[in-house]
Amino acid sequence: MNIIILAAGRGARLGTHNNNKPKCLFNINGLSLIERNLIIFKEVGLKPVLVTGFKKEELNFLNLPMIHNSEFLETNMLWSLYKASDYMNQDFIVCYSDILVNTKLVEKLKVFINGIGLIVDKDWLEYWKMRFDDPLTDAESLKVSKAGNITNIGQKVDRITEIEGQYIGFFKVSSEQRLLFKKRLIEYCENKQTKNLARKAYLTDFLQYLINQDIKIKEIPTNGGWIEIDNPSDVNAAKISGRLSIIDKDIQRITNKNG
């Protein structure tokens, strides 16, 4: 199964801490974000595909299939995913390149077969409080129906009650819904009426677009099991929360087993 890793970003908010490299090469204790995830993805049997942008040549050492979003400066994350549509002919997973996930979470997503499923952190608030003085400056809306379908996602809100979890940038498209997802993605990015929107769209914009067309998107709940690195201070939050140590234990276990 392919896992499409969206790695076009520069990560400007990391500043000099990332030495002007692609964001996914941000280093924590001697190992980059992308290298950490690849250890786990390959162990679980996924086939990584990179969508590159900023300084793509610096990712050549990974020896992975790559699709280059040459318009990365003028487009956003949805456009990078659109560039990878040739890799959507079977069930596939999508992962943002500035997150880390543990093995349990990857396995949980891999076995999901019920259409479109998004990993949603239900234990997000305490983690956000470690990352931000005011969690609402970064958190986005997420509402879920009693049937487990996401009804609202990705909007700025001014109340915690509008947030029933945080989408982490890790999802799967499977079964019959895969064909519909791919078709709508291509249409959205190529249709004259929506192309300009698509070029600047976040993935959550497209997910809400699908929801508005009555396409079911499932919540796959988790309590932790991941981190995001968007600012240098996020490393401290990852350590203090204990989330990074759990991921590091997985990586160490896999590395030791494979020699």
The Cα–Cα gap between 103 and 120 comes to 16
Domain count, the chain: 1
pLDDT tens, position by position, 190-241: 999 999 999 999 999 999 999 999 999 999 999 999 999 999 999 999 999 9
- Among 12, 66, 6, 71, which residue's Cα sits nearest to residue 34? 6
Q: Give the list of residues 6+ apart from residue 61 with CB closer than 8 angstroms, or none.
A: none
Q: Strands of 27-86 (E only): list them.
A: 27-28, 31-32, 47-52, 66-68
Here the CATH number for the domain that contains residue 157 is 3.90.550.10
Count of positions (residues) in the chain:
259
**Domain containing residue 218:** 2-257
Backbone angles phi, psi at 104, to 5 degrees: -60, -40
pLDDT at 186: 98
The answer for 235, left when phi > 0, alpha when psi is -120 to 50, beta otherwise, is: alpha
pLDDT at 13: 73
Q: How far is CA 48 from CA 30, 66, 162, in A?
A: 21, 9, 34
pLDDT tens, position by position, 124-173: 999 999 999 999 999 999 999 999 999 999 999 999 999 999 999 999 99
pLDDT at 18: 75
Would you state the structure tokens that stand for residue 149, as one six-digit string?
């379908």
pLDDT at 14: 78
Residue that wins the pLDDT comparison between 12 and 136: 136
Residue 16 has pLDDT above 80, yes or no: no
Residue 81 has pLDDT above 90, yes or no: yes
Backbone angles phi, psi at 153, to 5 degrees: -155, 140
Place of tokens 């499923």: 117
Would you state the structure tokens that stand for residue 27, as one six-digit string?
């280093």
Strands 31-32 and 27-28: antiparallel
Residue 19 has pLDDT above 80, yes or no: no
pLDDT tens, position by position, 100-122: 999 999 999 999 999 999 999 99
pLDDT tens, position by position, 34-58: 999 999 999 999 999 999 999 999 9
pLDDT at 49: 98
